[in-house]
Chain A
Amino acid sequence: MKILSVDDDEIFQYVLIETLKSLGQEDTRSASSGAEALALVQSEDVPFDCILLDIQMHGMDGVELCQVLRGLPLYRQVPIVMITSQSSKQFIDDAFAAGATDYVTKPLDRLEFKARIGMAARLVEERQQLAMLTRKVGQLSDNLRMQIEFDTPILVPGFERGIEYLALENYLLTLGKKRMLSMSAFGFHIANADIIFDKTSRANFVDMLGDVAINISDAIKTEEVLIAYAGYGNFVGVTNSKFTQAPEEMSAMIECGMADFKDFYASEMLPMPRVMVGRLLKSSFFSLDTPTRILERAINLAQTSRNTKLSLTEHAA
C-alpha cells in the first residue's frame, strides 16, 4: 500500500513510519501539516492507497483535512485512519462525519495498529481487484462494469450524508459499549430491492439506491446522524438518544419523495422501491452485545416493520 501519514510531531511520525515498515508497509510518505499533505496529494502521479491523519495539528486540523480529501474524486473511498490522542465523543463524531474510515487512539498499540492497517490493506486490495476487472471488461456491459452483488455494502454515489458501512461499524467500536448507551439506531429496508436487483442493471440498481438515499436524507430532521448502506437493500442510521422522530413520519416523507420518480421507474418497467422504516432502537436494551449488533437489530426491525403503505403498485411486467 502507498501510505501518506500526516502528523506535526516529528517523533511520532518517526515511530509511525518505522512501525509501518516493521509491518511490511515500506511505501510511505509523510507530511507535517494539512497544507503539506494536500500539496503532496496533488503532486503525486499515483494516488495514495491509505491516509493516516493526526487530528490536533496547527493550521488545518485532521478533521478538516479529512473533509477536504473526501471532496477530491480520487480520495472519495480511500481508507482514512485517524490516529490521535483525542478520545472524547465529540472528536470521534466529527472524524467519522468528516469521512474517516477508522479511528485509532495514541499511544500506538502495535497489535491493534497491525489489525487496523490489515483491515485497510484488505479494503485497498478488494478495490484494486475491482478496478483491474473493470479495466479488463472495459465498456462491455453495465452489469460487468459495476461488480456489486446484492449483499455488497457500497458507498452510494451522490449520497452526501452517507458513510461506508465499515466506517459506521468502526465508529461504534470506537465509541465502545459505555458511550453506546447514549446512542440509537434505525433501519430502512427496501422491501422489493431483490426484485429490482434482478430486473435491472447494476448501474440502475445503484441509481435506485441513490434515489432512496436522497429521500431518506430529506426525511430525517437532524444533521447529527451517520447513515450507511449495508447491502441487501438496507440502510442504517446511528444518532444520539435524543432523536425522537417517528418511523411513520419518515416513511410517509420517503414515500412522498419517491413519488417524484414514479414516471422514471414506470418507463424503465421497474417496480417503485418500497421503503420500510424500523422503529428507533435505543442501545441500552442490548448493552451486553457487541457495539455493532445495534446495526443488525435496527435492520431487522425495518425488515419486519409494517409502517409502509403498499399503495404504490409495482409497474413491472
Chain B
Amino acid sequence: MIDYSPSRKTSAEKVRSETDVPNILLPARARFSDKLTQRAMAFEMFRIDFNNGQNPRTALVNINELAHKIAGVAETIGFPEAGRLATALERSTSSGYEQHASIEETWRIVEPQLVALVDELELIMDA
C-alpha cells in the first residue's frame, strides 16, 4: 500500500539544501522555485473550479498535468517531499479514470492530496 499522506519528516528531510544538489542542476532548481507561486496558485484555481462545478473533468486533467511536471523533476533538484506528493497526486488523478471511479469518488482522494502538495510548495517558498 502506498502512503499518499504527507510524511512526518522534518523540513530538512523534505527539502534538501542547495549544497546537496549538484551544481549543474542549481539553475533548474532556481527555475523550479521561480515557478512555485504560479503553480501553487494554479492548483488553487483548479480546486476552486472543481468545487464550483466548473468543468470538473478539465480541472482534474489540469491538476494531473501540473502534478506530472512537478513529479518528474522535484526530487532530482532537491525537493523529495514535493516530488512524492506530486507523484501520488498524479497517480490518483489518472487512476480514477483507469478504474472507472466516479468523478466525485476520485475527487475525495485527490483533494486532500492536492492540499498537501500546495502546503509543501508553500513550505519551499518560505524556506
Contacts and interface: CB of A to CB of B under 8 A. Distances in A.
A14 interface: yes
Of A11, A21, A110, chain B has the most CB atoms within 10 Å of the CB of A11
Contacts of A59: none
A241 to B, nearest CB: 20
Contact of B28 (A18, A21, A85, A107): A18
Contacts of B22: 22, 110
Interface in A43-82: 54, 56
Contact of B74 (A54, A107, A110): A107
A22 B24 contact: yes
Interface of B is mostly: helix
B24 A11 contact: no
A11 B68 contact: no
Contact of A15 (B71, B76, B83, B90): B76
B67 to A, nearest CB: 9
B53 interface: no
Contacts of A11: 28, 31-32, 35, 69, 73, 77
B68 A85 contact: yes
B87 to A, nearest CB: 7
A22 B28 CA distance: 15
Contact of B25 (A18, A54, A56, A88): A18
Nearest to B64: A56
A178 to B, nearest CB: 13
A12 interface: yes
Contacts of A85: 68, 71-72, 87, 90
Interface string B39-80: 000000000000000000000000001001101111111000
B81 to A, nearest CB: 12
A10 B90 CA distance: 19
A108 B21 CA distance: 13
Contact of B24 (A10, A18, A88, A108): A18
B87 A21 contact: no
Contacts, number: 55
Interface of A is mostly: helix
Given A22-B22, A85-B87, A107-B83, A15 B77 contact: yes
Interface residues of B, number: 23
A54 B72 CA distance: 10
Contacts of A90: 98
A259 B103 CA distance: 56
Interface residues of A, number: 20
A19 B21 CA distance: 12
Given A11-B31, A14-B31, A107 B73 contact: yes
Contacts of B74: 107
A122 interface: no
Contacts of B71: 85, 106-107
A9 B73 contact: yes
A163 B77 CA distance: 35
A90 B76 CA distance: 25
Interface string B1-29: 00000000000000000000010110110
B90 to A, nearest CB: 7
A234 B35 CA distance: 53
A15 B23 CA distance: 11
A21 B73 contact: no
A106 B24 contact: no
Contacts of A56: 65, 68
Given A12-B69, A15-B28, A19-B24, 16 more contacts: A9-B69, A11-B28, A11-B31, A11-B35, A14-B28, A15-B73, A18-B28, A22-B22, A84-B72, A85-B87, A88-B95, A90-B98, A106-B71, A107-B71, A107-B76, A108-B76
Interface of B: 22, 24-25, 27-28, 31-32, 35, 65, 68-69, 71-77, 83, 87, 90, 95, 98
Interface of A: 9-12, 14-15, 18-19, 21-22, 54, 56, 84-85, 88, 90, 106-108, 110
Task: Give the 6 A-B residue pairs with the shortest CB-CB distance, closest first.
Answer: A107-B75, A106-B72, A18-B24, A14-B28, A107-B76, A12-B73
